[in-house]
């Protein structure tokens, strides 16, 4: 009978050792909230524009490049966005001898946004084209959809100075004082 007891005990141990595990699955949720960021732009006019000398017969062009423009769309949507600009007419302030304010129309300024470079992980960069400026907002860079991420560009500015334009006014004595350059105020808007 001892043999039967050992065989029965061994059979019970083998059946416990070989039976499949009876573990209960353990599950849990992982939650992460993703909040919208902002739509921002950094845009400036060129630090300097080239000077021109009137020749009395053809238009001259004052040019410059604005570097380091950035547009960041961190809103987390496919909503359209547009970087626009409006500007005032160019004026050369009156001085003590040159007492008449001189003006060049803002329509003489063309801004060419150039190549837009998409940052790492951004949607494809939007295309652009040259824009003749106005006192009302003109779209410089537009993304109709899928414009998430960050973008950089360096627009070219070109101001046509007609052959019959007035020179810049002198602030004081003509020929021996500082000149009052033609100045326009540009307002950039991102929406």
Does the pLDDT of residue 16 top 90, yes or no? no
- Rounded to the nearest integer, the mean pLDDT of the chain is 90
**Dihedral, CA atoms, 46, 52, 56, 61, nearest 10 degrees?**
-40
SS (H, E, C) 128-161: CCCEECCCCCEEEEEECCCCCEEEEECCEEEEEE
In the chain, what are the domain boundaries? 39-190
Pair of tokens at residue 111: 């801004």
φ/ψ (deg, to 5) at 11: -65, -40
Does the pLDDT of residue 6 top 70, yes or no? no
Which region among 57-61, 63-67, 127-131 has the lowest average model confidence (pLDDT)? 127-131
Distance of alpha carbon 104 from alpha carbon 120, whole angstroms:
41
What value does the mean pLDDT take over residues 72-80?
95
pTM of the model: 0.82
Which region among 103-107, 142-146, 186-190 has the lowest average model confidence (pLDDT)? 142-146
Distance of alpha carbon 109 from alpha carbon 29, whole angstroms:
58
Give CA angle at 12 (8, 17), nearest 5°. Answer: 145
Distance of alpha carbon 125 from alpha carbon 168, whole angstroms:
40
């Amino acid at each position: 009978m001892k043999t039967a007891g050992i065989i029965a005990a061994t059979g019970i141990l083998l059946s416990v050792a070989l039976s499949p595990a009876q573990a209960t699955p353990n599950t849990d949720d992982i939650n992460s909230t993703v909040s919208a960021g902002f739509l921002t732009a950094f845009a400036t006019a060129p630090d300097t524009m080239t000077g021109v000398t009137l020749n009395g017969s053809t238009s001259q062009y004052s040019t410059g490049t604005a570097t380091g423009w950035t547009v960041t769309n961190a809103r987390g949507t496919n909503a359209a966005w547009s970087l626009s600009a409006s500007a005032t007419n160019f004026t050369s302030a009156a001085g003590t001898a040159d007492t008449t304010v001189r003006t060049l129309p803002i329509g003489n300024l063309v801004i060419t946004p150039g190549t837009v470079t998409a940052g790492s992980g951004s949607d494809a960069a939007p295309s652009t084209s040259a824009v003749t400026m106005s006192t009302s907002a003109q779209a410089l860079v537009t993304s109709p959809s899928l414009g998430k991420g960050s973008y950089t560009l360096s627009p070219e500015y070109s101001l046509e100075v007609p052959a019959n334009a007035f020179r810049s006014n002198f602030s004081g004595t003509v020929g021996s004082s500082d000149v009052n350059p033609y100045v326009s105020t540009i307002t950039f808007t991102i929406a």
